[in-house]
C-alpha cells in the first residue's frame, strides 16, 4: 500500500507505527512542518512543507485559532498537490487532525481512506475547561471558545473513514455519532527500554557542588513537557514544603520547560509573569528555606536517556493532570516500576487503581499529596509492591510490540475495508 502520514511535528504519535508499516513492505511518506524531522526516518520518506501565508493581524479573537488551522490546511494541500503531480497517490492517509492539516485532504485524493488520531474533543463539562478556576480568569473565555475550537474536529470527523484514540476516556469525549468509528488503541510503551535499572545513576551540579544520585536515594520526581497548571505544577510546588519537612534529605528532580503546551499563557499585566513556571515558583518562593531550595533541581528539557535515568532512580514519582490527554510519561514511569502518586482524574484512573498500581489523590489536595509522598518514602515494601504491579499492568496491557503496535497495524489494514460515506 501507499500510505501518507500528516503530522505537524512528525513523527509524534506515529513514531512506531510508520516505520513498522515500512517493514511490512509499504511505501510510506510523511508531511510535516517540523524542522527537526530528517528526510528519511526509519525508511519513511519525510517531506517538509511551509506555511504559505500569515494570519490576519486584526480580526475577531474567536477566528484567530480557526484561521491558523485553515492556513495549515491550505499549505498542506499545496504540498499534497505537488506530491500528486509527481505521481504519488496514497491508498491510505493517517493524520493527527489537531492542527488542521487534513481538512482539505479529500479534495486532493477523494478516494483515499482517511484515518485520524482522536486525541481530544473539548466539552463544556467533565474535561479541562472549568476544572481549575484559579487561573481560568475572565481573559480566557474558555467556554465561549469551545465551539470554535471544535470546528476543526468537526471538519475532520466529517471526512474521516475511521479513527484511533489512546484511551477510552479520550475516545468518549467525541460526539456520539462518531464514537462507533473510533478504535481505542494506545500508542504503546516499549517495556524493554522502559524498565528497572538498579545501576542507574545521575550526576548533577548545583552551586559548584556535585551530586551523584542513584536508585535507593530519597528522590521525588515530577515530569512534564512544560511546567504549567494543566499538569498540576502549581499543586506539586505547593506540596514541596511539607514533603521536605517530612523528608529533610530528599532531592526533588523536576523535568520540564518554561514554555506552553496547553491552555493559555499567563497575562503579564495581571500576574507579572508571562510563563507559568516562573509565576508558580514566585508564588511559593518564600514558603521554602534557602536550604530547601538547594534540594530542588530544575533540569529543564532533557534527552530521552537522561529522562529515563531520572525515572529509574526515582523513589516516588508524582503525576498530576487536569481531566485531559494522558501523558506517555505516566505509563513509562509505571513501566519502569516507579511508585507513583497521581491525581484521581480521568483518564489517569484508567491506568492506575488506587493502592494497587499507584496511589491516587484529589488533584487540588496538595497537603494530602505531600503526606502520601512522604509515607511512601518511609515504606519500602509498599513502594516495591506498587512498582511491581504498575509494571505488570503496563506489560500486560500497553506493551508496544506485543499488544499496541499489532493492533495499530490491523487498524491501518482495516482502513482498506471501510466504506466512505
Provide the CATH number for the domain around residue 151.
3.40.50.2000
pLDDT surpasses 90 at 231? yes
Q: Are residues 404 and 392 in the same domain?
A: no
- CA–CA separation, 194 and 176 (whole Å): 36
Q: Could you tell me if 38 and 16 are in contact, meaning their C-beta atoms sit under 8 angstroms apart?
A: no
* Cα end-to-end distance, the chain, whole Å: 22
Banded model confidence at residue 35, pLDDT cuts 50, 70, 90: confident
Residue 139: predicted pLDDT: 46
Banded model confidence at residue 420, pLDDT cuts 50, 70, 90: very low
Q: Are residues 71 and 23 in the same domain?
A: yes
pLDDT surpasses 50 at 31? yes
- CA–CA separation, 71 and 74 (whole Å): 5
Residue 63 has φ and ψ, to the nearest 5°, of -90, -15
**Model pLDDT for residues 183-198, shown as the tens digit of each residue:** 999 999 999 999 999 9
**64 within some domain:** yes
Q: Provide the CB-side half-sphere exposure for 287 (13 A, CA).
A: 14
Provide mean pLDDT across the span 86-93: 97
Q: Are residues 212 and 172 in the same domain?
A: no
Residue 143: predicted pLDDT: 67
Q: Could you tell me if 351 and 330 are in contact, meaning their C-beta atoms sit under 8 angstroms apart?
A: yes
Average pLDDT, the chain: 94
**57 within some domain:** yes
**196 within some domain:** no
Give the contacts of 368 (CB within 8 A, at least 6 positions apart).
361, 362
Q: Are residues 175 and 274 in the same domain?
A: no
Closest CA to 334 of 200, 141, 190: 190
**Model pLDDT for residues 48-82, shown as the tens digit of each residue:** 999 988 888 778 877 888 899 999 999 999 999 99
Q: Are residues 298 and 164 in the same domain?
A: no
Q: Could you tell me if 256 and 227 are in contact, meaning their C-beta atoms sit under 8 angstroms apart?
A: yes
Identify the burial level of 190 via C-beta atoms within 10 angstroms of its C-beta, where 0-12 means exposed, 13-18 middle and 19 or more buried: middle
**3-state class (DSSP) for residue 72:** helix
- CA–CA separation, 259 and 265 (whole Å): 9
Q: Provide the CB-side half-sphere exposure for 387 (13 A, CA).
A: 24
Query: Grid coordinates standing for 383?
Result: 513502594
Number of domains in the chain: 2
Provide mean pLDDT across the span 261-271: 88
How many distinct helices (H) and strands (E) make up the chain? 16, 16
Query: Which residue segment(s) compose the domain that 18 sits in?
Result: 2-188+400-415
**421 within some domain:** no
Q: Are residues 147 and 177 in the same domain?
A: yes
Amino acid at each position: 500500500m501507499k500510505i501518507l502520514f500528516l503530522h505537524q511535528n512528525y513523527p509524534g504519535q506515529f513514531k512506531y507505527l510508520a516505520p513498522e508499516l515500512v517493514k511490512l513492505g509499504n511505501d510510506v511518506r510523511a508531511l510535516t512542518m517540523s524542522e527537526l524531522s530528517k528526510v528519511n526516518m526509519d525508511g519513511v520518506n519525510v517531506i517538509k512543507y511551509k506555511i504559505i501565508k500569515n494570519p490576519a493581524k486584526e480580526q475577531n479573537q474567536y477566528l484567530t485559532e480557526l484561521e491558523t488551522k485553515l492556513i495549515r490546511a491550505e499549505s498542506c494541500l499545496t504540498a499534497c498537490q505537488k506530491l500528486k503531480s509527481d505521481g504519488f497517490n496514497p491508498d491510505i492517509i493517517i493524520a493527527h487532525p489537531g492542527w488542521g492539516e487534513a481538512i482539505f485532504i479529500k479534495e486532493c485524493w477523494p478516494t483515499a481512506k482517511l484515518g485520524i488520531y482522536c486525541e481530544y474533543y473539548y466539552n463544556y463539562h467533565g474535561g479541562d475547561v472549568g476544572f481549575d478556576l484559579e487561573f481560568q480568569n475572565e481573559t480566557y473565555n474558555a467556554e465561549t471558545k469551545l465551539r470554535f475550537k471544535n470546528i476543526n474536529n468537526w471538519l475532520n470527523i466529517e471526512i474521516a473513514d475511521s479513527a484511533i484514540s489512546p484511551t477510552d476516556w479520550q475516545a468518549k469525549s467525541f460526539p456520539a455519532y462518531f464514537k462507533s468509528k473510533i478504535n481505542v488503541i494506545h500508542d504503546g510503551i516499549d517495556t524493554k527500554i522502559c524498565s528497572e535499572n538498579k545501576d542507574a545513576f545521575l550526576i548533577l551540579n548545583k552551586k559548584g557542588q556535585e551530586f551523584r544520585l542513584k536508585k535507593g536515594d530519597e528522590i521525588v520526581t515530577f515530569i512534564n513537557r512544560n511546567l504549567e497548571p494543566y499538569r498540576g505544577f502549581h499543586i506539586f510546588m505547593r506540596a514541596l514544603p511539607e514533603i521536605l519537612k517530612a523528608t529533610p534529605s530528599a532531592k526533588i528532580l523536576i523535568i520540564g520547560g518554561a514554555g506552553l503546551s496547553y491552555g493559555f499563557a499567563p497575562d503579564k499585566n495581571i500576574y507579572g509573569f508571562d510563563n507559568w513556571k516562573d509565576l508558580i515558583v514566585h508564588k511559593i518562593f518564600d514558603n521554602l528555606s534557602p536550604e530547601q531550595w538547594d534540594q530542588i533541581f530544575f533540569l529543564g528539557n532533557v534527552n530521552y536517556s537522561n529522562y529515563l535515568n531520572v525515572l529509574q532512580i526515582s523513589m516516588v514519582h508524582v503525576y498530576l493532570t487536569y481531566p485531559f490527554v494522558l501523558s506517555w510519561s505516566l505509563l513509562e514511569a509505571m513501566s519502569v516500576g516507579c511508585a507513583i502518586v497521581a491525581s484521581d482524574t480521568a483518564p489517569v484512573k484508567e491506568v492506575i487503581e488506587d493502592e494497587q498500581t499507584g496511589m491516587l489523590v484529589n488533584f487540588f489536595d496538595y497537603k494530602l499529596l505531600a503526606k502520601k509522598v512522604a509515607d511512601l518514602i518511609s515504606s519500602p515494601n509498599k513502594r516495591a509492591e506498587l512498582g511491581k504491579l504498575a509494571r505488570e499492568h503496563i506489560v500486560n496491557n500497553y506493551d508496544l510490540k506485543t499488544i499496541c503496535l499489532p493492533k495499530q497495524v490491523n487498524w491501518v489494514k482495516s482502513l482498506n475495508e471501510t466504506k466512505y460515506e
